[in-house]
Amino acid sequence: MKDLSKNYINGQWVNWAGDTIDVHEAGTGEVIAKVPASGREEMEQAIAAADDAFATWSESTLEQRIKVLEQLHAGLKERAGEIAETVCREVGMPIKLATGIQAGLPATITKTYLNMLPDFPFSEQSGNSEVQYAPVGVVGCITPWNYPLHQVILKVVPAIAAGCTVVLKPSEIAPQSAYILAEILDGTDLPKGVFNLVCGEGQTVGDTLIKHPDVRMVSFTGSTRTGNLIAHAAADDFKRIALEMGGKSASVILPDADLAAAVKGTVNNCLLNSGQTCTALTRMLVPAEQHDEACELAAAAFAKMTPGNPLEETTRLGPLASAQQRDKVIDYIKLGIEEGHTLVAGGPEAPEGCDKGYFVKATVFGNVKPDSRLAQEEIFGPVLCVIPYNDEAEAIRIANGTQYGLSGAVWSADADKAKKVASKLRTGQVFVNGGAFNPMAPFGGFGHSGIGREFGKWGLEEFLEVRSLQL
């Protein structure tokens, strides 16, 4: 078991002698690490360090920032195996996927900013004005457990690149990769105080971070409920906010689509990270006459995704990240049965041979009513709702019929028709006929799914204020 009873403040590790938080292994339920249950004082120290460092780092040269990010990129590549195993144990994503995604994406994202920075226009001319893009200030970053390092990198890298200083509060459920990041940054030329890490509970350190007057921006990824609290708290101090929250994304399969390919693509997306993905395609909309066939195809695909030890290379479906999340998902499966939807595959019982850890059966419901709780609320687990529709207009209404708008998909044999339907979806991104994920494209949501965008130049612009000099 790792003892990580320390915070990283002002360029040094500060030991913590108070209460600690247990970190559990998703596949076994065993305690694998302990991290601080820090208090307000520790968070205030980190904020003060970031505030002091901002005066100098905000004036750093582009060359200085690029050098630090190059050192970070090298460290992420060097420790990729350790990162993948750490997140695999904490979150439950199978090791093969964790290697490519949980460890691979942070390095990829860092590289995209290294490629972008030399040509980014931190100043430009507009008539007789010089328009400047200045760092916003001290940034508070609050990150989730499902993609723990990836979501940290999406905030920390562009914030540092913009000239901001950072205080990070990682999820206490999956915090260890954030400690690896702090260790890597500690070995770079990053000045002390530019990056700080404080681990603890949201109601103490998180509350201090979002309400502190010296924090000028809060970048948050997590639940819509917590995002709502952050937005209200930030409003009192007119802080900048970037919120990436929940989703209930629809995969719209049009009548002319290759049904088997569309179902397979939807299922693979739905079950990524055992459904613990905010962009998961958890509502599959199919023509009413194809509903039963679609359910059969989905059930067959789900049957191949049997849960297993995430540390084994052959495992395709791992456990959920915590006992709390497992119980929540099982309650939703029971709710789906109570609401009268057709249980096509899976169910609330524990999977065979998975007595330890936080495993849930991959579950498919058919004939799901669009306005039911199962179809409206984010489950964050391996549960797919198959919803029949009668015509294209109804499909679009159903797809847009939730409070969320983070992702979606459209499938059609006619590429132009697919794009036309995709353009009518009120959501931040749409996968058209299985289009590949693009780390340079903007990522974020409509409605209750968020405010602001991450990735690419849009992710950098979130951490910049605009100033004009009238010449």
User: How many whole angstroms separate alpha carbon 32 and alpha carbon 154?
Assistant: 26
Phi, psi of 265 (to 5 degrees): -65, -40
> CB neighbours of 28 closer than 8 A, spacing ≥ 6?
356, 357
Please give the C-alpha separations between residue 463 and each of 161, 181, 210, 374, 457, in angstroms, as whole numbers: 9, 20, 16, 36, 10
User: How many whole angstroms separate alpha carbon 134 and alpha carbon 202?
Assistant: 30
User: How many whole angstroms separate alpha carbon 300 and alpha carbon 287?
Assistant: 19
| DSSP assignment string, 415-426 | HHHHHHHHTTS-
Phi, psi of 143 (to 5 degrees): -125, 160
- Identified catalytic residue from 164, 278, 295, 385: 278
Residue 244 is among the residues annotated as catalytic for this protein: yes
**Four-residue CA torsion sign, 416, 421, 424, 426:** negative
Identify residue 251 by its one-letter amino acid code: S
**Residue 139 and residue 53 in contact, taking contact as beta carbons nearer than 8 Å:** no
Residue 278 is among the residues annotated as catalytic for this protein: yes
Q: How many CB atoms lie within 10 A of CB 336?
A: 26
**Residue 320 and residue 276 in contact, taking contact as beta carbons nearer than 8 Å:** yes
- Identified catalytic residue from 90, 244, 454, 462: 244
**Would you name the residues annotated as active-site residues?**
244, 278
